[in-house]
Structure 1
Amino acid sequence: MNGSDLLELSASDLSRMIHARQLAPSEVMATHLAQVAAANGAVNAVVSARDPEVLMAEARAADDVAPAGWLHGIPLAVKDLCATAGLRTTWGSPLFADFVPEKDDLLAARMRGAGAILTGKTNTPEWGHGSHSFNPVFGVTRNPYDLTRTAGGSSGGAAAALAARMLWVADGSDMMGSLRNPAGFCNIYGFRPSWGLVPGDAEGDTFLATLATEGPMARTVEDLARLLAVQAGPNPEVPFCRDAQDFPALLDRDVKGLRIGWLGNWGGAYAMEPGILELCEAALRQFEDMGAVVDPLPPPFPAEKLWQAWITLRAMLNAGAFRPFSAARRAQLKPETQWEIAQGEGLSAAAVHEASTIRSRWYAHAARLFARYDLIALPTAQVWPFPADWRWPQEVAGRAMDTYHRWMEVVIPASLAGLPALSVPVGFGQPGSQAAGLPMGMQLIGPAGGDAGVLAAGQAWHRATGWPQKRPPLVPPANSR
C-alpha cells in the first residue's frame, strides 16, 4: 500500500492494520512526514513540528513492541492550547513563544498513553480567542479547500490538518464553537462532548469554569468515537465529571423514527449568509429519506437573553484567567483578549448571578425540548469561510456585528447548556455563488449525557454521505504516488 492510499484510510483502519501486523508504525510515520512536507507550507496547520529523524526513530521503535492502545504508532499533533511535555506550547502568544512544558496536560497524557506519537502542535488563534486561526508566533492557518480562506478556529489547525490529510485524527477544544466551526469550514467532523465528559486539569477554578471542553475531530465518526473513549472519563480532582462509555460499540443504531427539531436561524435572530440554511435544509431532507422525522421549530428561548448570559460569563472567566498577568504583559495581549478582560473586570456580582440564572432557565427549557426530540439541529456557522486576511467578519448578510465574536452566535445554545454537539459536513457552496466550493456543516445537538446517541446519528449520516472523502485540491487522488 503506497502513501496516497494510507492517507485516505481512517485512523481506526490504520489501528486495526497495525495491531494485525499488516502495517508498521514507521510506514505510517513516513507517510505523515511526507504529507506534512507536501501540504503544510501552503496550509500552515502543523506548528512546532518535531525533528523528522527523531520521529522516525520513535516510530521504528513502535514497530517492535506490543501496542499500548488503539492509537499505537499513529502520528498526532496536539492543539497548541494543550501543554505537551518536552514539546513547545505557545497558546499562540509571543509571551510563550519559546515555552516548553515539563509535563503533559491530562488530555495529552491520555492520548500519549493510548500509543499516539506526538509529532507537533496544531495552530490556533492567540489564546484561542476568535474563530480564525492566526497569531503573531506562527501566522495564519489557511483552508485546504481554498487557500485564500480561513480554516476557522480555535481548532483551525487541527481541522485543516485533517482535511489536508496531514493527520488521521486530532484533538480540539470548544468554548464558543471551536470544535464545530472549523470542522464545518474544513469538511470534517468535530464533536463537543457533554460538559464534564472530557475533564480538564485540576488547575485554577474548576467549579465556575464550565463553558469550555476538549474533544475529538476526525474524518470519520468511528474515529471520533474511538478518540473520545481515550479522552473521556473522570478526573477525581475535578468536579462534575461524567463517566465514559464504550462509544465505538454504541455507534450502530437505525435512525428510522429519529426525531429532529430544526431551529434554522432561531427565528431570524441569527444573521446567515445566503446558501447556508438551504444547504442544511437539504441535509435534513436526506435525513428524512433515511427515516428520520424533521420538524421546523420556533425559537425556544430569547436569543438576546442567551447572548447576554454568554458574554457575561465568558468575560468573567477570561478576566479571572488573566488576572495574574502584570499590566505590562496584558498590554501585549491581542485586542480581543484585552476587550474580554475589560468586560469582565467591570462586572458586578448581580450581573454574574443574573447570567447564571438565565443559563439555568435555558438548560431547563432545553431539557423539555429533548423530551419531544432526540436531536435539535442548527447550522454550524453563520458565514462561509471568509478571507484569511480578515481578523473577523464585520457584518453578516448586511447586519453589523457588535463584537469580535457575535458572528459565531449560533454555537452558543449548545455551549451555554453544556450539551453534546456534533458538526457534520453537509456539502459545499453552489457553483456560481460567492461561496462556490466552500464547505459547510450542521450541528446535531443532543441532551446532556446523550453523547452516544448524537454520535450514532452522525455515524448513520457518514455512511449515507461520506462528505470528507471529497479531497481538497492540494491532496492528490489515491494511487497517484
Structure 2
Amino acid sequence: MTDITDFNASELSDRIHNGQISCTEVMQAYLQRIDMLNPRYNAIVNLAPADQLMAQARQCDEELARGQSRGWLHGIPQAIKDTGHAMGFPTTFGSRLLAGQMPRADSIMTERMKAAGAIVIGKTNMPELGLGSHTFNTLFGATPNAWDTSVSAGGSSGGAAVALAQRMLPVADGSDFMGSLRNPAGWNHLFGMRPSQGRVPFGPGADVWVDQLGTEGPMARSVQDLARLLATQSGRDRRQPLSINAALDVSGIQYTPDALQGLRVGWLGDLGGHLAMEDGILGVCEDALRAMQNAGADIEPTAPGFDTQALWECWLVWRRALVGPKAAALLQLPHARETLKPEVLWEYDNSVKLSYMDFQRASQQRTAFYNHLLQMFERFDVLALPVAQVWPFPLEERWPQKIGERQMDTYHRWMESTIYATLAGLPAISLPAGFHPTKPWPMGIQLIGKPQGDVALLQVAAAYEAVRSDWLQRRPG
C-alpha cells in the first residue's frame, strides 16, 4: 500500500475530500514521519505539540462530516518558512536575537494558506536573516541535503526543500531574493518558483514601496501542486500597494507535452564565460534542454547582450540598500554585533557607504536591463540558465571560496546566476535537470518567463514534467 506521505498535496486533497483518508490519519502519518526523520535532517523547527495538531485535524474532519470544506488544503499539514509570520510560532529568521519574537498576526501568505485549509504545524529552517544559499544558523543548526547529508541543502528555503523531498511535508512555501526558492529546489530534485514581483504580496513589512526584490512563492514535487499553491498565495492585498491585481487562473494548464511544440528557448549557459561554473553543470542542463527539444522545442544558444559585470555591481547596490536597514534594526539590540553572522555585518557596513546617487544609478541600470530583456522576449518565449554554479558543497563550509580557479569575491558570488530574474521582476521556475555523474546530488535548470507570464511558465513546466515523468519520480533514500 502507498503510504499517506507518498501522496502529493493534490492527491491528498482528493482523498480527504472523497472520504478515503481522514485529516487525523494524514496528520498522524506526517507527525510520525517527522518524528522519524527530522532529527537527522533538521528541516522543521518549532514544531507544535502533537496533541494540539491532532485536535485541529479532528476539527477539520468534523467540518467535512458536516459538508464544510475550507479549501483544497483542508486539513493538510504545512510548515511556514521562518521568514513568514504564523500565529503561535516565533518568527526567528534563524537568528538567536529573535528566538522569542512572537508575531501579532499572520503574514499575508500564511493567512491565505490557512484560509485554503492548511494546518500550520511549525516553521522551516533557514540561514540567519536568509543571507547565503546554505541553510545553517547558530539557533537551530544546519539542514543537510535530502539526498546526501554530508552536503548543503541550499537556501534560504533549505528547510522547506528538505522537508518536502523527504516527505515530511506534502507541499512547501518559501521566499526568494537571490534564488532562495530556486536553488534549494534545484539541489533537492524539486520544482521551485519565484513568481512575478507583486504576484504574492510579501508582508506586510516596514517598507512597501522600494523593498521589491524579495518575494514569497511555492515549492512542490509536482507542477500541479506548484500551480495550485501559487494560485492560493496570489492576489492583490491593499497592504501591499504594488501587488498585482489580477487573480491567477491555473485551471487551464494542460499536463501534456504539447506546450513544448515550437517553444522558443534562449539558452544563456554561463553567459559567455562570465559565470564561473563547476564541471558537469552545463551538461546536465543541456540534457534537460534536449528532452524539451525532443518534444518539439527550439533551443537556441544566445549571448546575454548586456554588461554582466555592470549588472553585478548594480545588484550589489540594490542588495545592500535593502538588506542594510533590516540589519540596522537588529543592531540596536544588545550584543547584536557579536551575535550576527559576518555576512550580515558585511552587508550593513557596505550599505551605510551608499549615497542616493549610487542607488539611483543602480535603479537606472536595472531599468535598462529590464528593457533589454523585453527585446530578448521578442525572439524567445523563455530564457534558460543553470539554477546554481556549483554542486552542493560540504555542510561544514560557509560558502564556496572558489569555482575552479576563480576566486569568489563575495559570499554570494557563486549564486550570480539567480540575480537576473530578480532584478527584472520576472517569473522564474527551477526544474529538476539531472544529477552529478558520480554523486547523488541533484541540479536544476531555471526558466525565466515574460513579464507576469506566470501561467505560461507553469504550462512549460507542466509539459516538461510530462516528458520526464518517470525520471522525475526519483526520490532520496
Q: TM-score, normalised by structure 2?
A: 0.96
Alignment of 1:410 onto 2:413: no
Q: Call closer, same or farther: CA 1:70–1:327 in 2, change over 3 Å.
A: closer
Give 2:293's aligned amino acid: E
Partner of 2:178: 176
Partner of 2:71: 69
Equivalent-residue separation in structure 2 for 1:57 and 1:240 (angstroms)? 38
Task: Quote the offset at 1:248 in angstroms.
Answer: 3.8
Task: Quote the offset at 1:205 in angstroms.
Answer: 1.5
Equivalent in 422, 426, 429 of residue 419 of structure 1: 426
Q: Call closer, same or farther: CA 1:263–1:143 in 2, change over 3 Å.
A: same
Task: Quote the offset at 1:330 in angstroms.
Answer: 3.8
Deviates more, 1:115-124 or 1:244-253: 244-253
Partner of 1:17: 15
Alignment of 1:275 onto 2:280: yes
* Preserved CA contact (<8 Å) 2:187 2:444: yes
Equivalent-residue separation in structure 2 for 1:354 and 1:130 (angstroms)? 25
Give 1:381's aligned amino acid: A
Give 2:411's aligned amino acid: Y
Equivalent in 348, 369, 376 of residue 369 of structure 1: 376
Alignment of 1:252-331 (within 5 A): 252=255, 254-325=259-330, 326=332, 328-331=334-337
Q: Deviations over 1:175-200 (max 9, x none)?
A: 00000000001000100000010012
1:286 match: secondary structure: helix
Equivalent-residue separation in structure 2 for 1:239 and 1:67 (angstroms)? 31
Q: TM-score, normalised by structure 1?
A: 0.95
Deviates more, 1:313-322 or 1:169-178: 313-322
Task: Quote the offset at 1:99 in angstroms.
Answer: 2.2
Between the two proteins, the alignment pairs up a number of residues equal to: 467
Give 2:70's aligned amino acid: A
Equivalent-residue separation in structure 1 for 2:379 and 2:369 (angstroms)? 16
Partner of 1:188: 190
Partner of 1:478: none
Equivalent-residue separation in structure 2 for 1:341 and 1:386 (angstroms)? 26
Q: Call closer, same or farther: CA 1:339–1:327 in 2, change over 3 Å.
A: farther
Give 1:68's aligned amino acid: R
* Preserved CA contact (<8 Å) 1:330 1:338: no
* Preserved CA contact (<8 Å) 1:78 1:118: yes
1:343 match: secondary structure: helix
CA RMSD after TM alignment:
1.2
What 5-or-longer segments of structure 1 have no aligned partner?
474-481
What 5-or-longer segments of structure 2 have no aligned partner?
none
* Preserved CA contact (<8 Å) 2:253 2:462: no
2:91 match: secondary structure: coil
Task: Quote the offset at 1:327 in angstroms.
Answer: 6.7
Partner of 1:245: 248
Deviates more, 1:353-362 or 1:14-23: 14-23
Partner of 2:475: 471
Equivalent-residue separation in structure 1 for 2:54 and 2:71 (angstroms)? 19
1:422 match: secondary structure: strand
1:135 match: secondary structure: coil
* Preserved CA contact (<8 Å) 1:251 1:452: no
Equivalent-residue separation in structure 2 for 1:113 and 1:80 (angstroms)? 19
Q: Deviations over 1:193-234 (max 9, x none)?
A: 000100123432211111110000000000000000110000
Partner of 1:479: none
Alignment of 1:127 onto 2:129: yes
Task: Quote the offset at 1:54 in angstroms.
Answer: 1.5
Q: Deviations over 1:68-115 (max 9, x none)?
A: 011001000000111111112211010111222221111111111110
* Preserved CA contact (<8 Å) 1:163 1:468: no
Give 1:295's aligned amino acid: E
* Preserved CA contact (<8 Å) 1:222 1:251: no
Partner of 1:6: 4
Alignment of 1:347-386 (within 5 A): 347-386=354-393
Equivalent in 435, 438, 441 of residue 438 of structure 1: 441
Equivalent-residue separation in structure 1 for 2:15 and 2:173 (angstroms)? 22
Equivalent-residue separation in structure 2 for 1:196 and 1:64 (angstroms)? 36
Task: Quote the offset at 1:241 in angstroms.
Answer: 1.6
* Preserved CA contact (<8 Å) 1:194 1:420: yes
Q: Deviations over 1:399-446 (max 9, x none)?
A: 100001011000011111011000000121113xxxx22100000110
Equivalent-residue separation in structure 1 for 2:335 and 2:219 (angstroms)? 33
Equivalent-residue separation in structure 1 for 2:117 and 2:252 (angstroms)? 20
Partner of 1:104: 106
Give 2:319's aligned amino acid: R
Share of identical aligned residues, percent? 47
